[in-house]
Amino acid sequence: MNIPKSFASDNNSGVHPLVLKALADVNHGHYTGYGDDPFTEVAIQKFRQLLGKNIEVFFVYNGTGANTVLINTVTRSYNSIICPASSHINVDECGAPGAASGCKVEFVYTEDGKLTPELVNSMLLGIGFEHHSQPKVVSITQSTELGTLYSLEELRTLCDFCHDNNLLVHMDGARIANAAVALNCTFKEMTTDTGIDLLSFGGTKNGMMFGEAAIFFRPELAADFKYFRKQNMQLHSKMRYISAQFSALLTDELWYKNARHSNDMAQLLYKELQNVIGIKITRPCYVNSVFAILPEKVIPRLQQKYFFYVWDEHTNEVRFMTTFDTTEDDINNFVKALNEELGRQQSEPASLLRG
C-alpha cells in the first residue's frame, strides 16, 4: 500500500518500532494479571524517577478513560468541573466525564484554549448553596487542543488560585511530551513543581499502541481509584503489555525524541505554509499542530489525498497534525498538493465556484 501520511491526528500514525519491540520482549511466560507483575512495577518506578516518589500511577486504556476515572475518583455527583469550552473533555468525549461521575461540566469560552484565574473565578458561584453544583476540579490541557501552551509560571499561578479556592487541578496531558519539548522543561517542572494534582499522561499519541497513565500527585486522593478503574472498564488484564510500552517510551528519552521530531515537523509545515498564497494561518505553532483557513472548495479535494479535520465548520479553519513518523518529504508533498488544489481552484471559472 502506498497511502500518503495523514495530517488528521497523531493517532493516525503507527507504533514506534521500539515500542513494538518492547511488546515482543515481554511476550513470554505467565504473569499475574491486572498489574501485579514485575513489568508494571518497573514502569511505575520510571514514572517515579521522572515525577517524584510521592505519586501514585495507574495504567488505563485511553485518554478519555484517564480523564474520566481521575475525575470520577475525586468528585461526587453534585460537583462541577471547570474547563475550557475547547477542551477534549468538553467536546470530544461524548460526555464521558459527566456521565460517569454525574458532575456538571462548566465550560468557559477562551480564545486560546487556556484558563486563567479570572476565567475560573467567573464560574465560582453559589459556593455552599445547595441549589448549585459545587466546583471541585479545574481541568486544563497541556498542550491545549488549540496548540497553545501554559508557561510554568501560568501553571503555578493557576494552581495556587485553585488550591486557595479548594479546587483540584487536573491536567489532560494527551500531548504532554510535545509540551515539555516546546517549553524545554522536565515533566516534573511542569507538573509536580507547579502544583498539578491529577495528570492524564498520554502515550498513544506519542508512539504507543494503547495505554495512558493516570497519576496522582497527592497520594491520599488515590485510594479509591482502583475500584473506579475497574468499574469504568479501564482495567486491563494482561497489564504487562501496557507497562512495557511505557517503559520503552520512558527509556533513553524515546518520549522526547518522538515529540521533538513531531514538533519539528510542525514547525517545518508552519514555515512552508507561510509561503502558500490563498490560505490564512490562524494560530501560532508551538507544538505539533498547525491551524489555517482554507478556501471552502479546496478542503474536500485535498481531503481526498490527505485526511485531516475541519476544526471550525463555520470559518473553514482546518487543523494539521504532525507525528513522530512524519517526514520532511511528507510535508513537502503535502504542501505541493495543497498548492496544486489552490491553483486548480483559481483557474476555474467563477461560476463553478458557487456550489
The correct pick among 53, 131, 275, 349 for binding its own copies (CB under 8 A) is 131
Region 270-289 residues binding its own copies, contact defined as CB under 8 A: none
Among the residue ranges 92-100, 178-186, 187-195, 251-259, the one whose residues contact its own copies (CB under 8 A):
92-100
- The binding track of 22-51 with respect to its own copies, each residue x by CB under 8 A or -, is -xx-xxxxxxxxx-----------------
Region 236-265 residues binding its own copies, contact defined as CB under 8 A: 236-238, 241
Cβ atoms of residues 328 and 268 within 8 Å: yes
The correct pick among 22, 43, 51, 96 for binding its own copies (CB under 8 A) is 96
CB of 193 to its own copies, least distance (A): 30
DSSP string, 108-144: E--TTS---HHHHHHT--STT-TTSPEEEEEEEESS-
* 316 makes contact with its own copies (CB under 8 A): no
346 CB-near residues (< 8 Å, 6+ apart): 278
CB of 289 to its own copies, least distance (A): 16
Instruction: Report the C-alpha gap between 286 and 264 in whole angstroms.
Output: 10
Please, which residue, 133 or 247, has the CB nearer to its own copies?
133
Region 55-74 residues binding its own copies, contact defined as CB under 8 A: 61-62, 64-65, 68-69, 72
Distances (CA, A) of 3 to 99, 204, 227, 287: 38, 21, 43, 25
Please, which residue, 91 or 353, has the CB nearer to its own copies?
91
CB of 93 to its own copies, least distance (A): 7
* 153 makes contact with its own copies (CB under 8 A): no
Instruction: Report the C-alpha gap between 22 and 150 in whole angstroms.
Output: 33
CA 328, 248, 207, 264 dihedral sign is negative
Instruction: Report the C-alpha gap between 177 and 90 in whole angstroms.
Output: 22
* 300 makes contact with its own copies (CB under 8 A): no
**From the CB of residue 73, how many other CB atoms can be counted at a distance below 10 Å?**
22
